[in-house]
Amino acid sequence: MAPAASEPPGHRVTAPAMSSGTGTGRVPAHPPSEEPILTFTLRLLDENSSATPEKLPVLSPGSMMHLEASVHFSPSISMRIHVDQCYGTTMEQPGHPRRIFMVVNSRGCLHGEKLGSVSVQHQRGGSVLQLSILAPTLQGEPQEEQVYVHCLLVAWGQGRATRSCFYSHTTASWHNAEDPGQSTPCHCCDSGCPAADTLRGDVPALPGEGTLHWETVGPVLVQKEKVPWYKALCQTAKRLLLAGLALVGSAVLVVAVLGGLLALSTRHLGRARQGQRPPRQRCPFQAELQSVVGALLLRETEKQGQMGPEPLSHQ
């Protein structure tokens, strides 16, 4: 047994190595023979590192989720289990698009937000990895939700050189989980470790070695943090205010668009009327006035013709 370096609970994480396996899914079944096959398991533990009872576990905000991943092959061969990633979803199937990532392994360096303690225990013929992480935080309206935990596991023989690094919050540095005194391979975790030096050789020495394998555990009931009544009232008022502002803004936008369309329509209609103006009609009183004026002129002309020319005056 080679336990990980001792760290205070809640301040230690261990990074299983990043696998370069050839596929994703369960280890392919082998025909009945004397060759054993890999058996992966994933289960929830309580605070005493014992198996969780059958009843639905309830996690409150800030509580720790204890997981145990293990692999068994043969009593005569020692295997080492590593975690590629762990995340939570509301569905039992691991391919659900909505994911709450808890643990992400980047080429042997375990990353995650507020990771808790992790211990690695290796036994003859099997390997066990225990990790404790904070319960996922719910977003949105649900006050509680059932979450399934999906982990991508891989196992390698003892002859493989794998990087297994964890970040110590106490020393603010990366450490080797297998041998805390040999932390040089973990110095690349901050800048990015290369993938070429993770493994020695390309051909698996054991059936199923290096094959990625999905395991699911759950559900667990994750509760949202309870908010005091006055904060809840403020949040409700804030949501109503935002909704009212959004409604007013939408109404103003609609009115502005309709006003612009009405103005364009009026302008276009005015131009059309100017281009098709009908001929101007004469008013009836104008015709009567012209006839009266013409008659008076004619009468005046006739009167002057009857009187004749005026006689010349004698001096």
Cα(102)–Cα(150) distance, integer angstroms: 10
Asked whether 103 and 8 are in contact (CB, 8 A), the reply is no
Asked whether 17 and 85 are in contact (CB, 8 A), the reply is no
Most confident of 122-136, 148-162, 223-237: 148-162
The per-residue pLDDT for 48 is: 67
Name the token pair of 149: 């935990």
Sequence-ordered list of residues with C-beta below 8 angstroms from that of 137, at least 6 positions apart, any chain: 61, 100, 225
Please give the class, per CATH, of domain 39-229. Answer: mainly beta
The per-residue pLDDT for 298 is: 79
Q: Is the pLDDT confidence value at 274 over 60?
A: yes
Render pLDDT for 132-151 as a digit per residue (tens, 0 to 9): 777 776 666 667 788 888 88
Cα(15)–Cα(307) distance, integer angstroms: 137
The per-residue pLDDT for 18 is: 34
Cα(79)–Cα(70) distance, integer angstroms: 10
Domain spans in the chain, listed from the N-terminal domain onward: 39-229
Of 212, 210, 205, the closest CA to residue 25 belongs to: 212
Sequence-ordered list of residues with C-beta below 8 angstroms from that of 133, at least 6 positions apart, any chain: 64, 65, 67, 86, 102, 103, 112, 114, 115, 116
Confidence of residue 166 (pLDDT cuts 50, 70, 90): confident
Confidence of residue 12 (pLDDT cuts 50, 70, 90): very low
Confidence of residue 228 (pLDDT cuts 50, 70, 90): low
Q: Is the pLDDT confidence value at 216 over 60?
A: yes
